[in-house]
Amino acid sequence: MAATAASSLSYGIGGTQILWVPQGLLEQIVSTHSSYQTHHVDLQHLVNLISCIFQNAAVSSSKGVEQYAQLTDMINKLETVDGMHQALENIRNLSCEMSCCVSTMASSVDETMMQMLRRLKDYSWNAKVVLAMAAFACSVGESSMLVKHRNTDPIAMYVETLKGHRYTTTDFTMLERIGLFKAMIDVANTNLAFLAPSISRIPKEVHSIKDAIACFPTAAYKILRIVLQITSILSKKKDHFESTIQELNVLANEVSHINNILQEKLTLCLRDAEKYTYEDITIRITKISISEFIDKIMHYVRIQGFENLRNKHLLFLVSDLDISIDEIKVLNWLYQRNDQMYEIVWLPIIDLSMSYDVKRFWELKQLMKWSVAVEPTRVEADVVEFVKKEWHFIRQAIAVSMTSAGEVVCQNALPMLWTWGNTAFPFSDKTEQILWNSVDERHGWKLDLVLDDFIVPELRSWIENRTTFVCLFGGGDISWIQEFTEKVKYAAYAAGVTLKLVFVGKNKAKLGLSKTDLSRDIKVIESEIRWRFWTKLESILHAKIRHGKTTTAYKTDVVIHEALKVVGHGGKGESWAVFSMGPDPMVTTDGETGLTIMSNYLNWRQDTTGLRFLEGVKHYKEVISRDVHGCIKVHLPVLGRVPGIMVCPDCSKVMDMFYTYRCCDE
């Protein structure tokens, strides 16, 4: 930081003498701080733990397991917090440095202070204070444990002697009485409050936040120095300890004084935070260009230090915190099999006017095998507006495909990934068009289009064995399923073909029936695999719509014709069936028609055994379905843009389109 900036920090602290430091020292303090804070962690967990340790230390004696139940629960929760591993390592190192600095010599204290600040360089000034408090709590907890057990446990006495605390008779209840513990907890909570999303939304040029930021370096330095002084005092022998009570009391008052100054500045910031709601922010946003937007996104990536993303094709996964676990699992499966062709970066988008579920964010982040660009509250408001207006992000996740040169080649590559997997790389419209051109519109409705190795690992062997008859079916009517599967088994046996029954439920959102509800010879597709099946079908329809296969191509494009039927029946929870055999085109029916075909097998079985079985199914279906029309209702998620006109696959009429607003899957 420039000298002029440092000078303003030195004297622009509201005239509070306690926060003043010499100019040269201030420059040293600021020089230990990194321009970009790359280490982020949920500090609320640490503040809760610090408070619990102080409370337990202030208890005069050990009271057994019950006393530590709350503390144990907090420690266990730390393991689930992303970024906590690095924070705990820093806390341990700080605690060791504090313990070693037991001399009251100023040079030793100053040297240790700078070493501590450099160790915490990648954290914000507010986070430095919380971590230092955690390190102090670590020392207090250790000393308290030794003091309480020294007379009952020889090992505690031995460890105390080795650590040089043999004659220390620290009265932690006295520290509680003089308000030292309370002062430390208060100042930790105040620094934590400055990291809240509402404060982070205040523009840096606003006076209240500007004034607060100006005092953070000296406030953090002063607090850390006081903590170091207290640690040194508590390490003294018995004959010196009684005379230091007054000194500890003075230091506790200094911490309280600093906290009062920070509290005053926090109050002003909170008052301004109410003015900068999400609506106010959007009014001030100017439309940014795609190049500026990419620069901002890459800035997030650089802050996180993801060297593995350099010169890579990137997929920016844009979603809110309601992205489904199944979706993440399927994308993980594809990502881990992409042979390093591309990298994924998650850009979490939230409503900036509201607090967000921090626990949910970290849970999702831990599930993802790829990088996260930045925490949700650090995504700038103009970036949020850009992805909503320019990339048409509403609620469903999208994946923006970008070359290593920063060129956006597709605003949503997810439908390509769901349909074609990694074969669709580099996820451009041109690549997708080539893939669809390889599919025969009249005869392309085949098993390997709707299934893949993730859904059914045995898929290839089923297709290669031309005498294997595969029946995919769904619905929630258990009586229909039992009757239908019984008839299919009989017909397949009579026709001399090997039968594979696959149940894929009603749709991706509804749990429906499970393995325990059906017979053991039925393969039941569950969880993220079922989600994959239905999303693959929806993606096929989206691709067809995008390529104009909606009004003029319904007579020739069998793929969209049949996919509409399955999605339509599955969306309403109705029974349906799809029959396949080898590499031949499949036959799609509703549940009633499928049951009728199999129940009447003896009426149409002439010359339809063996390899001709599927052909007989198709022919008999055409005979009994000539004058039958069932209403089709299709629900498709909006993946970036609203779908176009659709045509009924049965009567060829243009279908009505309705808007459906749904907060969650049924």
Is the confidence at residue 617, as pLDDT, over 80?
Answer: yes
- 483 inside domain: yes
The pLDDT value recorded for residue 550 is 59
**pLDDT: which is higher, 62 or 86:** 86
439 in any annotated domain = no
Q: For the packed helices 207-234 and 125-149, what is the interaxial angle rounded to 10 degrees? A: 20
Residue 352 has pLDDT above 80, yes or no: no
pLDDT category at 283 given cuts 50, 70, 90 is very low
Question: Cβ distance 278 to 353 under 8 Å?
Answer: yes
CA 500 remoteness from chain centre: 38
**What is the pLDDT, as a whole number, of residue 406?**
78
Are 256 and 221 in the same domain? yes
Can you tell me the mean pLDDT for 104-123?
A: 76
* pLDDT given at position 554: 54
Given 276, 310, 340, the domain boundary residue is 276
User: In the predicted model, what is the mean pLDDT of the chain?
Assistant: 79
Same structural domain, 486 and 608? yes
Residues with Cβ within 8 Å of residue 361, at least 6 apart in sequence? 321, 348, 375, 376
Indicate if the pLDDT at residue 542 is higher than 60: yes
* Residue that wins the pLDDT comparison between 71 and 485: 485
* Same domain membership, residue 599 and residue 639: yes
* pLDDT band, very low/low/confident/very high, at 288 (cuts 50, 70, 90): low
Query: pLDDT-derived band of residue 40, with 50, 70 and 90 as boundaries?
Result: low
pLDDT in the model for residue 65: 43
Distance CA 419, CA 545 (A): 14
Q: Which of 9-13, 285-289, 428-432 has the lowest mean pLDDT?
A: 9-13
Q: In which band, very low, low, confident or very high, does the pLDDT at 601 lie, cut at 50, 70 and 90?
A: very high
Q: Is 347 left (phi over 0), alpha (psi -120 to 50) or beta?
A: beta
Reported as a pLDDT band with limits 50, 70 and 90, residue 282 is: very low
Domain boundary among 379, 402, 434: 434
Instruction: Determine what percent of the chain is predicted with pLDDT higher than 70.
Output: 74
When divided into structural domains, the chain yields a total of 3
Predicted pLDDT at 619: 92
Predicted local confidence at residue 279, as pLDDT: 45
| Structure-token pair, residue 273 | 């935070």
On whether residue 80 sits in a domain, the answer given is: yes
Q: Indicate the helix (H) or strand (E) that contains 348.
A: strand 342-348
Determine the average pLDDT of the residues in 299-310: 67
Q: Are residues 202 and 319 in the same domain?
A: no
At residue 113, the pLDDT reads: 83
DSSP 8-state secondary structure symbol assigned to residue 588: E
Q: How confident is the model at residue 149 (pLDDT cuts 50, 70, 90)?
A: low
pLDDT band at 237; cut points 50, 70, 90:
low
Asked whether residue 388 is domain-assigned, the answer is yes
Q: Is residue 25 part of a domain?
A: no
Per the structure block, which two tokens stand in for 561?
Answer: 């014709």
Q: Are residues 372 and 409 in the same domain?
A: yes
Confidence category of residue 285, pLDDT binned at 50, 70, 90: very low
- Domain enclosing residue 400, as ranges: 290-434
The pair of three-digit structure tokens given for residue 404, joined into one six-digit string = 């290593």
Report the alpha-carbon distance of residue 556 to residue 552 in Å, rounded. Answer: 9
Task: Based on the fold, state whether residues 137 and 158 are members of the same structural domain.
Answer: yes
Q: Shortest CA distance to 392 belongs to which of 639, 640, 636?
A: 640
| 125 shares its domain with 244 | yes
The contacts of residue 581 (CB under 8 Å, 6+ apart) are 466, 467, 468, 469, 470, 497, 611, 613, 614
In a domain? residue 23: no
Answer yes or no: is 451 within a domain. Answer: yes
Confidence of residue 106 (pLDDT cuts 50, 70, 90): very low
* Residue, of 352 and 522, whose pLDDT is higher: 522
Residue 320 and residue 204 share a domain: no
- Residue 346 belongs to domain with CATH number: 3.40.30.10
Answer whether residue 507 shows pLDDT above 90.
no
What does pTM read for this prediction? 0.59
What pLDDT shows up at residue 614? 93
Helix (H) or strand (E) holding 402: strand 398-402
Helix (H) or strand (E) holding 399: strand 398-402
Q: Binning pLDDT at 50, 70 and 90, where does residue 6 land?
A: very low
Q: Is residue 113 part of a domain?
A: yes
Query: Are 321 and 428 in a shared domain?
Result: yes
Token pair in block for residue 652: 């060829």
Mean pLDDT value of segment 294-300 = 74
> What is the mean pLDDT of the segment spanning 197-223?
85
Domain boundary among 434, 456, 472: 434
Per residue in 414-473, pLDDT tens? 999 999 999 999 998 889 989 998 888 788 899 999 998 888 999 999 999 889 999 999
Same domain, 451 and 397: no
Pair 68, 124 in one domain: yes
Q: Which of 50-59, 97-106, 147-156, 233-242 has the highest mean pLDDT?
A: 50-59
Residues 364 and 472 in one domain: no
CA distance 436 to 128: 55
